[in-house]
Amino acid sequence: MNNSNDENIHVTGSAKRDFISDIIVWSATYHSKNMILKDAYKDLDRDREVIKIYLLEKNIPIEDILFTSISMAKEHKTAIDKDGVRTKKFDGYHLSQHITIESKSVDIIELLSRNITTLIDLGVEIQSGQPYYFYSKLEDLKIDLIAEATENAKLRAVKIAEKSNSNFGKVKKAQMGVFQIIAKNSTENYTWGGAHNKTSKNKTANVTMKLAFEIKD
């Protein structure tokens, strides 16, 4: 902040707030493999039903669950005969399907992503992805922080005016800085484009406001 030669008082105010994410997005992929394509599909269908029942028992609404289309690939393995000749031999059909859950049951889904072995014990060959965390009231939070940062800038302008024995008038210019979201109590760096942490449930939002006030005689 400074009192520049253009007869305006320039100040930068800031505001930050800790918050807890209320939306979680978790993805996983499950697989089946069989020499017969029809049986591979049956295996995958069985796994899908096991997953559905498991999630419904955890009180996860069916509308929060999204299954993608099935991917299929023919797999081959290399064989070497007694003469050292390499040949590729068909090794079965490999099917995979992706499941994504977007839910406000953050604690339940978080625990599910960590205890994926429960589904493995039920015979499902599944790989868990990292959960991502979001906040449903982010726009409201942003507006509140802009107001707080603006008020902080005004307080700074008052201090400058008092120390320089001058008065300031109306706002000549206001510019919002970058809105940043980082993990709470982390050492993450702010970025010019605006950091937006998605891997931490507990976050800290920060914003700055640059204001220019006219100097009054």
Tens-digit pLDDT profile for residues 3-14: 444 577 889 999
Indicate if 34 and 119 belong to the same structural domain: yes
pLDDT tens per residue, range 43-81: 999 999 999 999 998 889 999 999 999 999 999 988 887
Are residue 125 and residue 164 in the same domain, yes or no? Answer: no
pLDDT in tens, 157-207: 888 888 877 777 788 888 998 899 999 988 877 777 788 999 999 999 999
Do residue 11 and residue 36 come from a single domain?
no
Q: Please check whether residue 73 is in contact with residue 93, taking contact to mean a CB–CB distance below 8 angstroms.
A: yes
SS3 (DSSP) at 90: strand
Q: Structurally, how many domains does the chain consist of? A: 2
Report the DSSP pairing between strands 202-216 and 8-20.
antiparallel
Looking up residue 191, the CATH number of its domain turns out to be 3.30.110.170
In this structure, the answer to whether residues 40 and 60 fall within a common structural domain is: yes
User: In whole angstroms, what is the distance from residue 109 CA to residue 58 CA?
Assistant: 9
The answer to whether residues 204 and 181 touch, using CB atoms and an 8 Å cutoff, is yes
Question: Does 15 share its domain with 27?
Answer: no
Is the pTM of the predicted complex or chain greater than 0.85?
Answer: no
213 touches 172 (CB < 8 A)? yes
> Three-state SS for 146?
helix
Give the residue numbers spanning the domain of 145. Answer: 2-20+136-216
Alpha-carbon span 131 to 214, nearest angstrom: 49
Joined together, the tokens standing for residue 152 give 């902080």
